[in-house]
Amino acid sequence: MRIALFLTCFNDTMFPGTGRAVVEVLERLGHTVDFPQEQTCCGQLHFNTGYRPDAVPLVARFARTFADYDAVVTPSASCAGMVKENHPLLAADYAPAGLQREVAELMPRVHEFTEFLTDVLGVTEVGARFPHTVAYHPTCHSLRGLRLGERPYQLLRAVKDLELVEVPAADSCCGFGGTFAVKNADTSAAMLADKADTVRAAGAEVLCAADNSCLLHIGGGLSRQGSPVRTMHLAEILAATEGVAR
């Protein structure tokens, strides 16, 4: 299986460790991963802010870059959602028939990382050990967009010595919302404050999620409040092998 990593522009720039973690987990499971250098961005920023035509070249680039792979894996539920839901829509509205076809053909092969592990590879135990108390934040795009459901929890429960704790009202949005956090900064901050309170109440050392963007927002709020809770992408926990002989 030819697997490509679509890391997303945001992770590429801000969270390269998440990319290395995805590669490490997949290689540990015996797969080879490629990172096509022509990849950039899924266009979510433009699409969600109302700049649809500006997102179209990115749709075309995505389809071109990943056309030859059997699977495109991304550690971002929101970018996976953008690609799967909105690339076909943008192609239909703005692109020639050829691109529409390419986008349609590629879509079934695009997978969010946890869904790729559980559904495509059929794996929940990835050989990880992480002896810490961990809470999982179901981001809106993983919960209601991609409907990841139990998948992330199954993967976390299989991590050796990891203690999983619940965040109260976990399903409520953290208030990030991309440009929402800038355009409606006060409302976003109010949502963040409530989310940070519930995360602290969960009593975890680490908060993880399938989206670094939400984690950047929540972690930024926790850090500002002086909370010791760390944020980590779920993939980094699955890559962790603390104390495991390798």
Partner 1 sequence: MTAPNDRGVVWLGSPAFPEAAREALKDGQLRANLRRATATIRDKRLSVSAELDDWEQLRDAAAAIKQHTARHLDRYLVQLEESVTAAGGTVHWAADAAEANRIVTELVRATGGSDDETREVVKVKSMATQEIGLNEHLAEHGITAYETDLAELIVQLGDDRPSHILVPAIHKNRTEIRDLFAAEMGRHGIAAPEGLTDEPRALAEAARRHLRHKFLSAKVAVSGANFACADTGTVLVVESEGNGRMCLTLPETLITVMGIEKVIPSFADLEVFLQLLPRSSTGERMNPYTSAWSGTTEGDGPSAFHLVLLDNGRTDTLADPVGRQALGCIRCSACLNVCPVFERTGGHAYGSVYPGPIGAVLTPQLVGVDSDTKGAAASLPFASTLCGACYDACPVKINIPEVLTHLRAKVVEAEGGRTVEALAMKAAGKVLDSPRLLTAAQKAAALGGKVLARDGRIGRLPGPLHGWTDSRDTPAPPTESFRSWWRKNREGGTS
Any contact of residue 180 with partner 1 (CB under 8 A)?
yes
User: CB of residue 158 vs partner 1: minimum separation in angstroms?
Assistant: 26
CA 188 – CA 102 distance, rounded (Å): 37
- From first CA to last CA, the distance across the chain in angstroms is 25
- For partner 1, which stretch binds (CB under 8 A), given 106-114, 140-148, 158-166, 202-210? 140-148
Instruction: Report 35-94 residues binding partner 1 (CB under 8 A).
Output: 35, 37-41, 43, 45-52, 54-55, 57-58, 61, 86
User: CB of residue 161 vs partner 1: minimum separation in angstroms?
Assistant: 27
User: CB of residue 154 vs partner 1: minimum separation in angstroms?
Assistant: 22
Kind and range of the H or E element at 135? strand 133-136
Amino acid at 7: L
- Residue choice 84, 87, 151, 217 for contact with partner 1 (CB under 8 A): 217
- Residue choice 98, 105, 119, 190 for contact with partner 1 (CB under 8 A): 190
Beta bridge partner(s), residue 74: 112
Q: Are 159 and 129 in contact (CB under 8 A)?
A: yes
Residue in 69, 153, 85, 62 with CA at minimum distance from that of residue 114 = 153
Any contact of residue 142 with partner 1 (CB under 8 A)?
no
- For partner 1, which stretch binds (CB under 8 A), given 106-114, 135-143, 149-157, 197-205? 135-143
CA 115 – CA 50 distance, rounded (Å): 29
Residue 14, token pair as written in the block: 């801000």
Going 124 to 210 to 244 to 165, the CA torsion angle's sign is negative
Residue closer to partner 1, measured from CB, 186 or 245: 186
Size of the site for partner 1 (CB under 8 A): 71
Any contact of residue 184 with partner 1 (CB under 8 A)?
yes
User: CB of residue 148 vs partner 1: minimum separation in angstroms?
Assistant: 13
User: CB of residue 142 vs partner 1: minimum separation in angstroms?
Assistant: 11
Any contact of residue 228 with partner 1 (CB under 8 A)?
no
Residue 81, token pair as written in the block: 């959602």
Q: What residues have CB less than 8 Å from 167, skipping those under 6 apart?
A: 135, 136, 137, 198, 199, 201, 202, 204, 207
CA 97 – CA 102 distance, rounded (Å): 9
Any contact of residue 198 with partner 1 (CB under 8 A)?
no
- Residue choice 182, 203, 242, 243 for contact with partner 1 (CB under 8 A): 182
- For partner 1, which stretch binds (CB under 8 A), given 12-20, 98-106, 113-121, 235-243? 12-20
Which residue carries 């239909």 as its tokens?
A: 92
Any contact of residue 157 with partner 1 (CB under 8 A)?
no
User: CB of residue 203 vs partner 1: minimum separation in angstroms?
Assistant: 22
Order of strands, sheet of 163-165, starting from the edge strand that comes earlier in the sequence: 163-165, 133-136, 206-209, 230-233
